Amino acid sequence: MKFYNIYGRHEEHIVHPIFENINGYFSSMNEQKCQFIVCVMNPEYQDNFTQLKNDIKKCGTIIHGK
């Protein structure tokens, strides 16, 4: 098993949960060479969790992933 050290800084960004904003955020993070993003979803939008998760996955792995 191989272990890695993770160095980084914490920045909090609030992104309104619509596809255009999520895509723009991932685009911005990609330009900054960000390699790891943690998405914490607000329970206020729990009715749309499935669509929100799909949008995050599409932006994070399909459109802007490597």
Please state, in angstroms and rounded to a whole number, the distance separating the CA atoms of residues 60 and 54.
10
Q: Give me the residue spans of the domains in the chain.
A: 19-63
User: Block means of pLDDT (10 residues each) for the chain, length 66 residues?
Assistant: 76 90 95 88 78 92 88
Residue type, 56: I
Please give the pLDDT value at position 60.
92
CA distance 41 to 26: 15
CA atoms of 62 and 56, how far apart (whole Å):
10
